[in-house]
Structure 1
Amino acid sequence: MGHMGDVLAGIHSAWEFDTDSVLIRFERGIRTPKLFQVLRERRVPYAALAGVELSPGARRGTVALRVVLREGADPLLEAAAGQLRTGCDPYRLVLPAEREALADYYATELRGVLTPDAGHPADEHLVRAPEPPLQFKAYDGKAAFDGTTVSFRWFWTGASSAKWKAGDQFFDVSELEGVEWRSPEVLGGHLRLLRRAGEGRDVRPGEPDQDPAAVVFGLGYGLVHESLPLAAAVLAAVRSERGAEREQRAAGARGGSGARSAGAPGALRADPADIAERIRHLGRLHEAGLLTEEEFSVKKADLLAEL
């Protein structure tokens, strides 16, 4: 692939070519899309590539070099599900038209490093997700992810009564099946956590504004550059958790001891301080008349059972 360390600089980003990957570094100028500024850089292994495109740019006098990633190789694109505008595509390098010959050279070089699996979906994420902790303000609550737990804390001014009754929500990645991100740039934008079935858990999704496993976006809330990196990080953590479970099952099938029972000494337990705060929150809802005596008692018992 050319010479290691070669750099192709374009508008808003520069691509540095290594022996096994291309490192995309984004500018931090005021004209650079905010998503690029948040991402800062993306390292794309050649094993993650499905193809390369060279085409006229959207602006007159420019050309665009774009790498196409294999399905499932990048948690950011998987979470975005085709909703990113062309100008916010992190894998598209825009160059002045007079550099088209140079862009064509690198396009040819990139095609030369495509692997035999280029036409097939990736079995795992090959591009790293944005690093937690991450957080953003949606219209009806604040969403945060610390690497293991997603939290939704509701705002009095925006959350529905259904969400207030449910109380602030905390989801361990082990409870999740995936993520549903709908861009805030379209009507009905939201971030929904897709929960796994089992353990008596009701995972039937309702409307996002009524679903305690979702936060809704609005004008100026949950912007793309704030919400998409969090969605991608959660998705990557969920995929990693599923992969670890598969390895444990395989180890168990071979007679190994990789699986750990829920009652083992190393099992995770709820934070007592967090449980106490959530019970106090339920008490305030009860005093405000948003929870009946029975609802308050049931939810309090559920929280105490987590200790």
Structure 2
Amino acid sequence: MGRMGDVLAGIHSAWEFDTDSVLIRFERGIRTPKLFQVLRERRVPYEALARVELAPGVRRGTVALRAVLRRGADPLLDAAAGQLKTGCDPYRLVLPADRETLADFYATELRGVLGADAELPAGRFLVRAPEPPLQFKAYDGKAAFDGGTVSFRWFWTGASSAKWKAGDQFFDVADLEDVEWRTPEVLGGHLRLIRRPAEGRESRPGEPDQDPAAVVFGLGYGLVHESLPLAAAVLAAIRADRATARNADAPVGGGAGGPSPRAPGALRADPADIAERIRHLGGLHEAGLLTDEEFSVKKADLLAEL
């Protein structure tokens, strides 16, 4: 791979070549795709590469050097499930056309380090997931991931009554099966956590706006660029937990389906926010959407966060 430390600078990003990987650093300029700014950088081991392509860019006067990763090598691409537009591909380097000869040189160099199994699916994630803690605000709630637990805290202005009745949600990675991400750039965008089968739980979840295991983005609410890195981090944690369970020759832990308790030492909720939530619960109670018992339980849960 040429000389270690070689850098190929393009539009919005630069590739720095090492002995065993390429480090992609993204700019933070106004015109840089928001997803790139959130990611900041990605390190791609050469063993994660399937092939390298060089082609004319979408814009006239540019060329694009693209690293195509092996299927199953990157949690970010697995979570995206083919929904990323060309301009948001983090492994595509756009350069001025007058640098095509240089780009072709590095493309040839990269092809020279491809392994014999480059076109085969990877048996594990080879590219690291974005590091937690991660969080973002959706239309109906705030999602956060600390590395072990995913939390959904509902906004009274956007969450459905079904989600308010269920209360804020906490999901241990060990209780999760998969992650479903639908881009916020289309109608119906959401992030849903797929839980492991458990007795008494619906086998088929309802619509995302009614499912307490999902947050919805809302078309026109704004592009939630932070949602994909969080989805990728959760997916990587799920796979790691499953691999650890297999290596230990122990059954994968499945939860009972209820929310996990708040972690010790977690930040306490804002009292004003809790008061507003209780007022909203009171409105649902008066409207007959909550029974006396449900109202008492949810109110006690909220007060316990203080």
Q: Which TM-score tier does this pair reach, normalised by the shorter chain?
A: 0.7 to 0.9
One-letter amino acid of the counterpart of residue 30, structure 1:
I
Aligned counterpart, 1:291? 290
Structure 2 length normalisation: TM-score?
A: 0.85
Quick one: distance in 2 between partners of 1:20 and 1:230?
26
Kept after mapping to 2: 8 A contact 1:196/1:203: no
Quick one: distance in 2 between partners of 1:182 and 1:154?
19
1:220 Cα offset (Å): 5.2
Structure 1 length normalisation: TM-score?
A: 0.85
One-letter amino acid of the counterpart of residue 12, structure 1:
H
Aligned counterpart, 2:143? 143
One-letter amino acid of the counterpart of residue 232, structure 1:
A
Kept after mapping to 1: 8 A contact 2:281/2:299: no
Quick one: distance in 2 between partners of 1:221 and 1:133?
23
Number of residue pairs matched?
288
Kept after mapping to 2: 8 A contact 1:26/1:41: yes
Unaligned runs of 5+ residues in structure 2 are none
- Structure 2 vs 1, CA of residues 154 and 79 (structure 1 numbering), >3 Å: closer, same or farther? same
Quick one: distance in 2 between partners of 1:25 and 1:272?
36
Aligned counterpart, 1:26? 26
Aligned counterpart, 2:165? 165
RMSD: 2.9
One-letter amino acid of the counterpart of residue 183, structure 1:
T
Quick one: distance in 2 between partners of 1:173 and 1:118?
30
Quick one: distance in 2 between partners of 1:107 and 1:224?
33
Q: Secondary structure at the match of 1:125?
A: coil
Kept after mapping to 2: 8 A contact 1:194/1:203: no
Does 1:76 find its partner at 2:72? no
1:69 Cα offset (Å): 0.3
Quick one: distance in 2 between partners of 1:159 and 1:95?
44
Q: Secondary structure at the match of 2:226?
A: helix
Deviates more, 1:179-188 or 1:212-221: 212-221
Kept after mapping to 2: 8 A contact 1:286/1:292: no
Quick one: distance in 2 between partners of 1:165 and 1:193?
18
Kept after mapping to 2: 8 A contact 1:175/1:196: yes
Aligned counterpart, 2:127? 127
- Structure 2 vs 1, CA of residues 230 and 269 (structure 1 numbering), >3 Å: closer, same or farther? closer
Residues 37-56 of structure 1 correspond to what in structure 2 (within 5 A)?
37-56=37-56
Quick one: distance in 2 between partners of 1:269 and 1:163?
17
Q: Secondary structure at the match of 1:4?
A: coil
Residues 104-119 of structure 1 correspond to what in structure 2 (within 5 A)?
104-119=104-119
1:164 Cα offset (Å): 1.0
Q: Secondary structure at the match of 2:211?
A: coil
One-letter amino acid of the counterpart of residue 216, structure 1:
V
Q: Secondary structure at the match of 1:238?
A: helix
Quick one: distance in 2 between partners of 1:272 and 1:51?
46
Quick one: distance in 1 between partners of 2:106 and 2:5?
13
One-letter amino acid of the counterpart of residue 197, structure 2:
A
Deviations 1:230-264 (A, max 9, x none): 11111111111111111111xx69xxxxx99x9xx
Q: Secondary structure at the match of 1:225?
A: coil
One-letter amino acid of the counterpart of residue 177, structure 1:
E
